Structure 1
């Protein structure tokens, strides 16, 4: 008998026929069969309720041979206890080594089902046509595959370790780059702050010098005029005194030479500021908030022409349809942008080609301004604009509250809106100089970009890709 068969035989002897597991506290009945104490007692307890059997009082049948055995005549089997313990500890006698269906050792391996089977399973219809070989061979093949997989996994682990080292190095280099860039940003902004502080100081000094020079000249002119006024007052007093003399005395004084005064008119001092407010890098900062502003054709004055350069077509609506649109400007050649702004910061640029002396206007307006009547373009009426004119002729105004006017407008104007701050500022795109600012405006409603042109043949305005002029 080989070792495997001997182990199997030992397992059979150490197995309870009721629970089919190794004995636990085995006992022997009067007929010589062994069972777990708990198993035999439970079996007999269940048999108490069955009727139709003749039993001796206190006796029950043996589950193996059906011979009657007294319930109290159960003797402990200490030898079998040791055998069961040995069977439990034996590596070849594990429960997993047995076929669950036939309780036979799993000696074969089915290739198709990829599972171990016993010799009884081999002869069954389920496995009769399958490829079957001994478990030892299957284990050997499995070990070879296992070694291959282990080698593959070790290779992958080595690759992973190399990649991990590489990623750690990349992370370290990346953090170093970020650190250097952070230091560079701080340094560059510190340099820029120093530069801006120096530029601010230079501009303030230039403005102070300009103020002092013009103020000195104006003070000199004032002193000259004060001196002349004093001389005129003295001469007037002298003449008034003579006017009080008698007629004969006045005739005698006629031979006295009159005091002649030569009036010195002071030189006219120009009071146009030459110091320009220009902050380096400011225009680049504004352009980070740049939006594409497109004129809204439905709001355009009836005689405005709008030409889209990208589409190569006119956008103007027929004059006949103007009365049907309540949003259209009818009093002035105006138009607003399609977008409305009720928050945030926004910047756009407008190009101009002024050829006449008519008054133009740029800026923002509330989305509900009066578009039918002629009203002053002032903040009180919902307009925050600057007027542009190359000439001296201005359009008549109804109110003295007129917007800021530039008599020498640049060819490109940049408009920066900070809605929350209530600021609308105007800049020359050509040199970045500041033109005008409305500070702490109360918008109260959404605002729109606003454009107002002069009379026919007074030039063109370029808004994004749309050219606008008044039809003549």
Structure 2
């Protein structure tokens, strides 16, 4: 081990400055520096005249190159000393030397890389017949290009990592900001609904207390009424008994009790006054008035809750409903924005589309629904409708027909009446409409509702749930439901704006008066496939407009 450092110094002296390897066939040039024969020949072949030494830059001539045999012997001896040092026992080596990988064939340290065979070699492998004439370089020199490529790729990867980290950091900041905003919204929701709950609880308690007061007054009035009636019955019973006894008395005895001026008989009859008890009203006008006011409060409460229910369904999807003009019948003209349509009476489309309704004047919405909730409104315009017609109709209407067991949210469940479609209506049928009105027969004006995507679109159709239609029929006579071959009237007036709420998952289609939030009707059905908004119009000078 003592010769380790001098050997390393000698090893540096016998390395070629061109190939950085042990000198092979060492030669000297004019300036005295020594190189491998093949290395200096390559310099002579690749360089122009004059030739210069790669170490001292002194000019030399090719013909003055001389072999240095003594140097060749010295290189061989140094190489053998190097081999002997590497062959020393493992236990005598340092930990760094034991950790080094050795040639599996010669158990020598690996120093070289064969470019021809792309193999790592030891000293003995390099001098073997197999690799002696190959281009072999030191491992460090061979690894430099790969190390450079790795460093360049590593630089790119680090840049990508830094960009991802910046993007991730920015994204996390945005997410955190939004989460913070959501926390604020959560607190706002809790606060608003808590205030709403508090208001509803207070309103509920107020109405219940008011109802208890009315019930208590009515109960007390009933007790007083019963007491007075009982007392009067007793008094009348006593008087009846007395009169029955007197009527059975002999005439002498009966007349003997009466004085000549008849005072006693008049006194007897006066015990029963002319104002009878049963003529008195059982409920005082004040209590009746308060009961009517209480009923009005309940109706207002129901109206408000129905309005909230209808608008709440509209917030479920927030979809903007427009019409698909390719499904519109040729007599219908759809506006460019798809929000309204009119019945023209003229065939507007020259080309037939497979999805167009014919001859029914119907049209589908452009977007179908397979889940969730959505709400939209249909405004109905006719020129013969006055501005106050609906209000007058509402004032004098009979209202919706009541069905046993239904509620304002449940609708008229179980009604099985409906209608089937006739043909078109045009201006020439105005006289027929007037005749129908006089005779109590009202033709349908339009249909609003929803339809399944797979509905039949050719020929005259039956607009019933079994055929894939859930609609209301609107006419001058009022509103009808369409569930079978004959229409069934549920309103005696026709609203100017209909609210339609589709709850796909809940299997419901709810219709309301969009202006008053009054409940009209509810269909219940287990939906399959895609459901589209549906409109049908067969009257001239009429328009249906979608909102929103």
TM-score (norm 2): 0.40
Q: Provide the TM-score with structure 1 as the length reference.
A: 0.45
The structure with the largest helix share of the pair is 2
